[in-house]
Amino acid sequence: MIKKVETIGGQELREMLTAATAWLEKNASDIDALNVFPVPDGDTGTNMLLTMRSCIEEAYRAPDESASAVIKAIADGALMGARGNSGVILSQIWYGIARGLEGKKSFTGGDLANALLEAASTAYKGISNPVEGTILTVIRESAAAAKEQVANGSDDMISVMEATVNAANESVANTPSLLPVLRDAGVVDAGGQGLYTILEGAFRYLRGEAEQMQFRKPQLIVSNMPLTGRSPQMLAADEIPFGYCTEFLLKGKSIDTGKLITKLEKKGQSLIVVGDNNTVRVHVHTLNPGNIINIVTRLGTMHQVSIRNMDEQRQDFLELQKERMPKIDMAIIAVVSGDGLNDVFSSLGATAIVPGGQTMNPSTKDLLQSVESVSSDSIIILPNNKNIVLTAEQVLSLSSKRVKVVSTKTIPQGVAALLAFDYEADFETNTNIMEKAKATVKTIEITRAVRSTKLGDLEINKKQAIGLLDGELLAAGSTPIDVISKMFAGLDLNKAELVTIYYGNDTESTEAEKVSATIREQYPQLQIEIVRGGQPHYDYIISIE
């Protein structure tokens, strides 16, 4: 039976966090591997470990053995030794806990719950644009669970810590549902995992498991939702560069952090400014570190300056991913726009997705970059748009790999081609059967007219719903449902069996259900499926097979 722990003093707190740091060290490299492109912001596990080591070093310099003195030293150590985005946020968490335990020689579970709430509040305030699905969410939900445990009448340290750790576990597992980039990459948030590991290590020590911890290793949390685990989307080579991850400690007198944040917000992204009037830790991504330096050197002196080229880190990341990816016989690269359609193509076997489509055509360079990035020497490209076919064909002469373009001109053609792919067939056979498969579907696209015009007998008003059949404009009407009805009325559907409705980013699911009901009522012999495509510009893309 685990004994109750009513209070913790400074010495116990120091030992508990020393054990937690050792626990994190065992898992740091695994947490590093969770880092999600395209944020090449250092190694999360390593940065959090180095931050914690600085905490512990400072903890042993605490002026006395009171809990408040030790946690204040830990917060100071975190601020001075914070590394990377995750390390700076972690320093804010310790700073908030220190504020919550100020003046206490020892603290109870109730005190800890209040301190964790203060930590969550402080961490959120330190971030210019807080993002859910990160370490911020984990600390907030963990603190809420601790407070609820106390409110339910259990305020001993063991029960409060257990509630905190369990909530952290669930919160980390849920991060992919809050942050699409995590879901797409098939991982949980690295910073949240790091915080959970620290909390778990502290809890295990508190339960008297210090000896067992020497022979065990922390486990990574698995998401509580299905992860696609798809290959990362290839970013366009002409996109704005990542710039420089700029970090430093600013020391001065009467530093106004609020004004400093205002000055730096327009100079970069991922801004974090934390500290007090005399010592401030700054983390920012900027294209021009010189502008940042010019601003802050007027306020004090810079220390522990780190300026890292994130574009180089990005390239290193891509190369590392290529090394880690298992060699595959054939790869399929699809040009797709819309998160729902991304999921569709990934689930059907697309190796890589290049963002693009109508009004957003990728360049030859973008497609070539994707071809060179995948771990295969035989690649099939699905353009999925008539304006991208010729661009894709330019890649054939630019790459040393064997590349074929299956000239899909619509999303349904691309889906049909993917469904026809045979993993047991050779490269030439697959390109042939995929070319044939794309001809078996008809595509209806519903969008809005950008201007008034007249095409033959068809008069079209600006912003009116219009319909295209395999790229040919055939109908216009007051609503998308009206246009779809006209389009279907002109088709020979005797041999058709399946209709798939992909509804767009600006279309409500309820409206898509009405479209489905209308088609089903008029054509009861058809099987109808509704899929959220999330595509821009087009209210509906409809596949008829």
Asked if the structure places residue 267 within a domain, the reply is yes
Residue showing tokens 């969770």: 34
The pLDDT of residue 239 is 38
Q: Is residue 146 one of the residues assigned to a domain?
A: yes
CA distance 412 to 417: 9
Q: Is the pLDDT of residue 184 over 90?
A: no
The amino acid sitting at 104 is K
Q: Helix, strand or coil for residue 244?
A: strand
Residue 500 makes CB contacts below 8 A (sequence gap 6+) with 412, 415, 528, 529, 530, 531, 542, 543, 545
- In this structure, are 468 and 340 located in the same domain? no
Does 180 share its domain with 117?
A: yes
Residue among 533, 245, 285 nearest 410 (CA): 533
Which of 408, 438, 468 represents a domain boundary (last residue)? 438
Q: Are 543 and 415 in contact (CB under 8 A)?
A: yes
Q: What does the pLDDT average to over 305-311?
A: 78
- Residue 126 CB contacts under 8 Å (≥ 6 apart), including other chains: 88, 89, 92, 272, 273, 274
Q: Buried (b) or exposed (e) across 264-286, using 16+ Cβ within 10 A?
A: beebbebbbbbbeeebbbbbbbb
**Cα–Cα distance for residue pair 190/187, rounded to 1 Å:** 8
**pLDDT-above-70 percentage for the chain:** 90
Burial 339-353 (b: 16+ CB within 10 A, else e): bbbbbbbbeeebbbb
Per residue in 208-253, pLDDT (tens digit) is 988 888 888 888 887 765 444 444 444 333 334 467 888 888 998 8
**Distance from C-alpha of 71 to C-alpha of 64, rounded to nearest angstrom:** 11
Contact 100, 119 (CB under 8 A): yes
Lowest mean pLDDT among 35-49, 145-159, 513-527: 35-49
pLDDT at 286: 86
> If you average pLDDT over residues 194-208, what whole number do you get?
94
User: What is the pLDDT, as a whole number, of residue 165?
Assistant: 95
Helix (H, G, I), strand (E, B) or coil at 279: strand
- Verify that 497 and 484 share a domain, yes or no: yes
432 and 447 belong to one structural domain:
no
Q: Do 58 and 146 fall into the same domain?
A: yes
**Which domain CATH number covers 517?**
3.30.1180.10
- Distance CA(288)–CA(293), nearest Å, equals 9
Q: What is the pLDDT of residues 276-289, one digit of tens each?
A: 788 888 888 888 88
pLDDT greater than 80 at residue 329? no
Q: What confidence category does residue 361 fall into, taking pLDDT thresholds of 50, 70 and 90?
A: confident
How many domains is the chain built from? Answer: 4
pLDDT number for residue 224: 60
Task: Quick: pLDDT tens for 370-400.
Answer: 898 888 889 999 999 888 888 888 889 888 9
Assess whether 471 and 491 both reside in one domain. Answer: yes
Query: Is pLDDT at 186 greater than 90 in this prediction?
Result: no
Out of 438, 472, 490, a domain closes at: 438
Q: Is the pLDDT of residue 41 over 60?
A: no
Residues 485, 488, 494, 497, Cα dihedral to 10° = -90
Kindly tell me if the per-residue pLDDT of 543 is higher than 60. Answer: yes
Higher-scoring residue by pLDDT: 361, 150: 150
**Using an 8 Å Cβ cutoff, are 230 and 186 in contact?**
yes
Averaged pLDDT, 194-216: 91
Domain co-membership, 198 together with 60: yes
Q: Residue 40: pLDDT band by 50, 70, 90 thresholds?
A: very low
One domain for residues 283 and 144: no
Q: What digits encode the pLDDT tens for the residues 52-101? A: 999 999 999 998 999 999 999 999 998 888 887 788 889 899 999 999 99
- Answer yes or no: is pLDDT of 272 > 70: yes
- Check whether residue 33 and residue 153 sit in a common domain: yes
Q: Are 168 and 197 in contact (CB under 8 A)?
A: no
- Please indicate, yes or no, if residue 12 is contained in any of the structural domains: yes
- Do you know the residue count of the chain? 545
Say what the pLDDT of residue 79 is: 85
Q: How confident is the model at residue 196 (pLDDT cuts 50, 70, 90)?
A: very high
What pLDDT, in 10s, does the model give residues 477-506? 989 999 999 989 888 888 888 999 999 988
Is 230 part of any domain? Answer: no
End-to-end CA distance of the chain: 65
In DSSP notation, 493-544 reads -SS--EEEEEE-TTS-HHHHHHHHHHHHHH-TTSEEEEEE---SS-SEEEEE
- Same-domain status, 329 and 309: no
Question: What is the average per-residue pLDDT within 302-315?
Answer: 75
Between 325 and 471, residue with greater pLDDT: 471
Q: Is residue 233 in a domain?
A: no
Q: Ramachandran region of residue 269, left (φ > 0), alpha (ψ -120 to 50) or beta?
A: beta
DSSP β-ladder status, 269-275 and 300-309? unpaired
Q: Calculate ∠ Cα 231-235-241, nearest 5°.
A: 140
CATH number at residue 280: 3.30.70
- Amino acid 43: pLDDT: 73
Same domain, residue pair 528 and 473: yes
Strand partners, 249: 281, 303
Nearest CA to 234 out of 300, 106, 140, 333 is that of 333
Domain extent at residue 447: 442-544
Answer whether residue 352 is part of any domain: yes
Residue 182 sits in a domain whose CATH number is: 1.25.40.340
Determine the 3-state secondary structure of 448 from DSSP.
strand
Instruction: Tell me how far apart the alpha carbons of residues 434 and 492 are, in angstroms, rounded to a whole number.
Output: 24
Which of 438, 464, 498 is a domain's end point? 438
Residue 319 lies in a domain: no
Q: Are 293 and 302 in contact (CB under 8 A)?
A: yes
Number of Cβ atoms within 10 Å of the Cβ of 485: 17
Residue % of the chain over a pLDDT of 90: 40
**Judgement on whether residues 389 and 485 belong to the same structural domain of the protein:** no
Q: Does a structural domain hold residue 320?
A: no
φ and ψ at 182, to 5 degrees?
-70, -45
Average pLDDT over every residue of 127-132: 82
Residues 189-216, mean pLDDT to the nearest whole number: 91
Contacts of 66 (CB under 8 A, 6+ apart): 9, 10, 104, 105, 106
Element housing 210 (H / E) = helix 210-213
CATH number of residue 377's parent domain: 3.40.50.510
Average pLDDT over residues 410-439: 91
- pLDDT attached to residue 442: 94
